[in-house]
Structure 1
Amino acid sequence: MDQPNVLLVVLDSVRAKNVGHLGYPRDTTPRLDEFAERATTYVNARSPGIHSISSHVSLFTGLEVAEHRATSHSAHIEPGHTIWEELADAGYRTGLFTPNAIVAESSNLASFFQKAVGPKRQELVFPDALGPAQVDGDPSYGDYLKACVRSDSPIRSIINGLSREFGSSTAAHDPTREHAGEYIDAFLQWCESESAPWAACINLMDAHYPYLSQESYSRWGDDTLENLHREAMGGPLTTQYLGDRPFWELEATESLYDDCIRQVDDYVGKLLDELDANGELDETLVVVTSDHGEGFGEYSNLNDEVRLIDHSWGIGDEVAHVPLVVKPPGDSSNETVTKPATLTQFPNVVRESLEGGTGSFTLDAGCAITTSYRIQEPGTELPLPADEREPYFGPWHSICRQQNGRVVVDSVRRDDGFRHTPSPEEGVESVDRKYIEAVIGELSEAGVTQSSDDPSSEVEQRLQELGYMT
């Protein structure tokens, strides 16, 4: 086989707990479950971080979060450290396809690809008419209306304003317009455009907040639940549910989330079908995973004063345990790996594949590290009194490893500690804090993160539309 293609599919925010072949009772991932039957499934895969930026930097560079320290939405890293640059130097065409504003816009990760598509939600309803970004300064709505009246297309310009900067934040939440199919189609057109081997990352955000699926995928949610959820979409979920909204609403939202997982699963199935029909699937290293999970009001296993909301804080399985299905080129054998696996191995797996081998997402050291440094003091973004914020402060560290023939997860946050095992009937055990401190202590900062400017107002808006605290 000549140089194999490389395809990384990131199902943004999809946690292992809600995936069919990992034990979820709802039929959320029939296509991924089917694919797993002819691939390698890692049942104990952990994300390096619990946020898009930190996990993607680890995926792209192979560095742990404690090494790269890229934790802010606008983090920039130095050139020369990503597997995508390495692949380009080896003659590959590289492409990024995603609606994720953090990966594609506010950070500089898109710059390490030769081709980048997204987010499409930035596109105006009428591209030939005026938009908010075309008015100088920081215009008020009145200033923008005056500019619209003076433009060649007043009505269309006003509609553009309502759909973007001066409209409700829910205006961009159109699941018929911003969905996986849009980016998969762009990817397929790109990879068929030339004969050179290609390497691509497709990050799909259908399962990310705001948890709104297309009607054809609505199975567990309903109009009542969706309408209730839309009432909470006026700002970040953290602000809503640490404020006045009851947590039972967030817990119920998991049904909408499941609908969205089923949607992205179906699109990924169609992608794999298309690659198979084109004769490319067997010639491609395919990695399907997630960058982090999602919280729906679960209590933190480290501190029961904290409840998990989306992926803003915490380190438990809800946000750290992710699906990971890998099909090496030329191989359709089924294998299940129970050893702890880490996404930081992605660059090494790619290198092994290029050399004709089959790499592994497990490490000889036998552990998988998850780290988050958020929330950082003083935590003014939290809608809580100053004396109630401390339980949310990082850093949070979690290490999944094999010990005495079983998988254990040790987690710490400051003075808080917790050990999780698959068999709770064995009794409560003390966390191995010394082990975590030793492992994290061996990781030194790699010096790959640059200083960066704050995102533009347009990018800030797109981050807010995705529920992020900015």
Structure 2
Amino acid sequence: MSANILLIVLDTVRAQNTSAYGHSNETTPFLSSFTERATRYDQARAPAARSLDSHVSIFTGLHVEEHDIIRTGDKLAPGHTIWESLADSGYATAVFSENNWITDIDAGLKDGFEHVEGPQNVPFTQALDPTTFVAEEGQGRYKRFVRQALGSDQPVRSLLNGVATKVQSDYPEFLPRGSVGTNGSTYTDLFLDWEDKQERPWAACVNYMDAHHPYEPEARFDRWGGEDLRAIQNEIEDVKWEFNGGQRPWWQRRALEALYDGCIRQLDRELERLVETLAERGDLENTLVVVTSDHGEGFGDPSRVRPDTRVASHSVAIHECLLHVPLVVKYPGQKDAKRIRDPVSLTDFPTVVEKTIDGDGTPDSFVTDEPVITTAHGLDDPVRKRASAYVEDLTPYTSTARAVYEGSGTEVRKHVTWRDVERTIAVRDAQTAWSVSNDGGDHVREVFEGISKLNVTGEEMADLSERSVQQLEDLGYM
């Protein structure tokens, strides 16, 4: 029987803050124990520092410079994701996430999934969701929505969802907007319900957003934060640009890391519940389980490349706190722990899937002879407009940064270029890195000269709904 495929993305979780990778707070006890029967990759890197770029690379196996899907409005053409290939091969495919880049927005990422469970921000999650309807049909088609609602299995609840969404959009003073914040347990339940009904090999992506700002862990997981930090967080209008612009002191951004740790602890519990349920059902043994993140997060980490700047949140920087991500993989039939110290890229996920299906998947599947590279693009126009309200000089946040990793174990070297700046950085582990020289640019340029943009973009993305725009703004992408 063909192996099942499960990609679990702990969105915005950096390796540095997982206890499985040496963090002092015990944020990931289950992930740590899971490594005793799986493969841990010590030096895994995300393809980019934000969701859209990174997910396109993970789903397609293409470097950011090859696909060039990096801006709001860019769209991936059909036929390029591993999920579409799996669906064509007879797999049942599904995605579960509040991240609307991969579930709602017409960016080409949801096209390979037969079953899509996106944001659950309506009163009745099993009825028709207006957000999904607008993403597929466009704005202003109220009569069409009413007809579709009346023809659905739950007409009354579907209509009530429509009313609630309209009130949230037009009258937020009466019904506060519910944009970001659906607990990850919702998506665990949705995935497990779906998986239990499958009668053929399946492939699924579960993307958890609990660790994405705002950091709101449940009380039982909020072991290092507390109400004072929540009060500070609630006062912040823009978690990235208020700090970069000097409107808020950096100690506040650093302090919010305690809440972030609680969110990671909450995610670890969901990971445990999902994996152990698959084990109880007897389905774990024949499943490729890949646990990772699309990018990390910054809490005032000083940049070694961009002069006099710090990393707040994520997106435009090429710092290790954004690119060094956890990667723990259980291959079908694997029973013993394995540890890989070579640099590996999440861009190779489709290759690992194909090898696993062919029966050739091993802990070395992520290790290739190709260089591990990452790209961090500067601000696009929507974010530039938002940032300019707080920061006078946006030069440190523009232009493209590129990095190449080489070496192994504690001898990993990261070569970086940004504008006319060159750096070589030594990386020992997820906790420790330091600059060793102001060169390395020739190697970066040589590697990237061999990478060309491919023709994988589709028609321009349809206009975003007001809800999608609002959610992207809440996430900091617009």
Using the size of structure 1 for normalisation, the TM-score is 0.88
Whether the 8 Å contact between 1:96 and 1:202 is mirrored in structure 2 is yes
Structure 1 residue 428: deviation in Å? Answer: 2.6
Q: Distance in 2 between matches of 1:462 and 1:427?
A: 37
The one-letter code sitting in structure 2 at the alignment partner of 1:240 is E
| 1:117 shift after superposition | 0.4
Judged with a 3 Å threshold, the aligned counterparts in structure 2 of structure 1 residues 124 and 164 are, in CA distance, closer, same or farther, namely farther
Contact 1:242-1:383 at 8 Å conserved across structures = no
The answer for unaligned runs of 5 or more in structure 1 is 139-151
2: distance between equivalents of 1:182 and 1:415?
47
Pick from 392, 395, 398 the counterpart of residue 397 of structure 2.
392
- Aligned residue type for 1:17: Q
Label 1:272 to 1:386 Cα distance change in 2 as closer, same or farther (>3 A).
Answer: closer
Distance 1:183 1:403 in 2: 36
The answer (yes or no) to whether the contact 1:400–1:407 under 8 Å persists in 2 is: yes
> Structure 1 counterpart of 2:267, which letter?
V
Match in the other structure for 2:445: 437
Counterpart position of 2:117: 117
**Aligned residue for 1:196?**
200
CA 1:129/1:325 → structure 2, altered by over 3 Å: closer, same or farther? closer
Aligned equivalents of 2:471 and 2:379: distance in 1?
21
Determine helix, strand or coil for the equivalent of 1:87. Answer: helix
Aligned-pair RMSD on alpha carbons?
3.2
Amino acid at match of 1:430: N
Supply the AA of the counterpart residue of 1:455. Answer: L
Label 1:164 to 1:274 Cα distance change in 2 as closer, same or farther (>3 A). Answer: farther
Pairing 1:280–2:269 present = no
Please say which of residues 261-270 and 68-77 is displaced more in the overlay: 68-77
Structure 1 residue 13 corresponds to structure 2 residue 12: yes
1:84 aligns with 2:86: no
The equivalent residue for 2:369 is: 364
Stretch of structure 1 that moved more, 257-266 or 430-439 = 430-439
Distance 1:127 1:85, change over 3 A: closer
Query: Of 237, 240, 243, which aligns to 1:238?
Result: 240
Secondary structure at the residue paired with 1:48?
A: coil
CA distance, structure 1, for counterparts of residue 208 and residue 339 of structure 2: 25
Q: CA deviation at 1:80?
A: 1.0
**Shift of the alpha carbon at 1:361?**
1.4
Aligned counterpart, 1:461: 470
Bigger mean CA offset, 74-83 vs 313-322: 74-83
Identical residues among aligned pairs (%): 34
Matches within 5 A, 1:164-203: 164-167=169-172, 171-172=177-178, 175=181, 178-203=182-207
Task: Tell me what 2:54 maps to.
Answer: 55
Any runs of at least 4 consecutive aligned residues in structure 1 with deviations exceeding 4 A, and if so which? 122-131, 152-165, 168-171, 384-387, 423-427
Shift of 1:351: 0.6
AA in 2 matched with 1:311: H
Deviates more, 1:278-287 or 1:75-84: 75-84
Deviates more, 1:264-273 or 1:305-314: 305-314
Q: Where does structure 2 lack aligned partners over 5 or more consecutive residues?
A: 142-155
Q: Is contact 2:10–2:207 with CA below 8 Å preserved after alignment?
A: yes
CA contact (8 A) 1:306 1:392 kept: no
Q: CA deviation at 1:12?
A: 0.2
- In 2, the alpha carbon distance for the partners of 1:83 and 1:350 equals 8
Q: Distance in 2 between matches of 1:352 and 1:465?
A: 38
Equivalent pair of 1:125/1:160 in contact (CA under 8 Å)? no
Q: Per the alignment, do residues 249 and 469 of structure 1 end up closer, same or farther by CA in structure 2, a change over 3 Å counting?
A: same
Contact 2:244 2:391 in 1 (8 A): no
For the residue of structure 2 that corresponds to 1:248, the secondary structure is helix
Give 2:196's aligned amino acid: E
Residue number in structure 2 paired with 1:318: 321
Distance (Å, rounded) in 1 between the aligned partners of 2:451 and 2:388: 33
2:77–2:108 contact (8 Å) kept in structure 1: no
Residue 427 (structure 2) pairs with residue 422 (structure 1): yes
Partner of 1:148: none
TM-score of the pair, normalised by structure 2: 0.86
Q: Counterpart in 1 of 2:300? A: 297
Q: CA deviation at 1:37?
A: 1.3
CA pair 163-387 structure 1, distance change in 2 beyond 3 A: closer
Matches within 5 A, 1:65-144: 65-106=64-105, 107-121=107-121
Output one character per residue of 1:11-41: Cα deviation in whole Å (capped at 9) or x when no partner. 0000010011211111000111111111111
Cα separation, partners in 2 of 1:160 and 1:95, compared to 1, 3 Å: closer
What is the CA-CA distance between 1:239 and the residue it aligns to? 3.3
Match of 2:209 in 1: 205
Figure out how many residues of one structure are paired with residues of the other and give that number.
451
Match of residue 142 from structure 1: none
